[in-house]
């Protein structure tokens, strides 16, 4: 599952589109704090491109930009909180939240972790690397992900998935540098953010089908929470 857990089944992903719009709206609002013009705000431009790619309604997108940039008169304040612990069967999990109500988020996490085990700071973070995660698509048939990773300064890459998306992994301090270099090596960046990559991921084959389903259900429930932005699981594949 690489660095970030995502719902695998297309029907699940389709049902989650509304939640995806909510997560992207938060990212847009935060990015828009540094300016409402995507042409002059690289971070905002990337998130806007992501939003358009998943067909976020234009009104929703523009409202999020204006709200984040302070053009509506509404105060926008989100707390960034990391929760960590274990999914069922001791699969380590890092959960990244952006919330306007820390008490609500903490309460929800306690409930969601009942099927696993919630930890304190440092419980599983030692088993993850803090990295830059860049999703990109080949701009031409000749684009070579391995060559691009080397030339752009990425630490590693994951080959293209069924949708043609290649994941480039960077040192957390090099995220912006590599993001700007990749287009010069044949790749169009569609997403760039910091995240967590497991150092010792658990092989799905070491779990029974029933156990793996329990882990997937746990992660899906986490991802569905309104305050959760990203879920990073120590599961390979």
pLDDT tier, 3 (very low <50, low <70, confident <90, very high otherwise): low
- CB neighbour list of residue 22: distance below 8 Å, 6 or more residues apart: 226
pLDDT tier, 1 (very low <50, low <70, confident <90, very high otherwise): very low
Supply the CATH classification number for the domain 10-68. 1.10.10.200
pLDDT at residue 11 tops 60:
no
Phi, psi values for residue 12, rounded to 5°: -65, -45
pLDDT of 15 reads 56
- CB neighbour list of residue 206: distance below 8 Å, 6 or more residues apart: none
pLDDT at residue 18 tops 70:
yes
Q: Mean of the per-residue pLDDT values for the chain?
A: 90
Which tens digits make up the pLDDT trace of 146-203? 999 999 999 999 998 888 999 999 998 999 899 999 999 999 998 888 999 999 999 9
Which tens digits make up the pLDDT trace of 176-186? 899 999 999 99
Which tens digits make up the pLDDT trace of 113-142? 999 999 999 999 999 999 999 999 999 889
List the one residue out of 237, 198, 210, 226 whose CA is nearest residue 88. 210
**Among 1-15, 38-52, 130-144, 168-182, which is the least confidently predicted range?**
1-15
pLDDT of 19 reads 82
> Element (H or E) spanning 221, and its range?
helix 209-224
DSSP state of 201: P
Q: What is the value of pTM for the model shown? A: 0.84
């Amino acid at each position: 599952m690489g660095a970030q857990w995502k719902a695998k089944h297309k029907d699940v992903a389709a049902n989650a589109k509304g939640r995806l719009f909510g997560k992207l709206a938060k990212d847009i609002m935060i990015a828009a704090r540094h300016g409402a013009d995507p042409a002059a705000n690289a971070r905002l431009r990337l998130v806007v491109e992501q939003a358009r790619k998943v067909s976020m309604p234009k009104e929703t997108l523009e409202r999020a930009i204006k709200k984040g940039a302070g053009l509506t008169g509404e105060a926008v304040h989100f707390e960034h909180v990391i929760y960590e612990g274990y999914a069922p069967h001791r699969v380590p999990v890092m959960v990244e939240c952006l919330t306007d109500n820390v008490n609500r988020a903490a309460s929800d996490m306690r409930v969601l972790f009942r099927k696993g085990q919630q930890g304190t700071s440092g419980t599983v973070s030692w088993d993850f690397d803090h990295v830059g995660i860049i999703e990109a698509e080949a701009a031409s048939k000749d684009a070579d992900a391995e060559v691009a990773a080397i030339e752009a300064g990425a630490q590693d890459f994951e080959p293209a998935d069924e949708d043609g998306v290649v994941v480039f992994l960077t040192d957390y301090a090099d995220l912006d540098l590599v993001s700007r270099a990749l287009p010069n090596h044949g790749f169009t960046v569609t997403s760039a953010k910091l995240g967590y990559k497991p150092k010792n991921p658990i092989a799905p084959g070491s779990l029974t089908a029933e156990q793996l389903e329990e882990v997937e259900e746990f992660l899906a429930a986490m991802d569905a929470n309104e305050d959760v932005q990203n879920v990073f699981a120590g599961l390979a594949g």
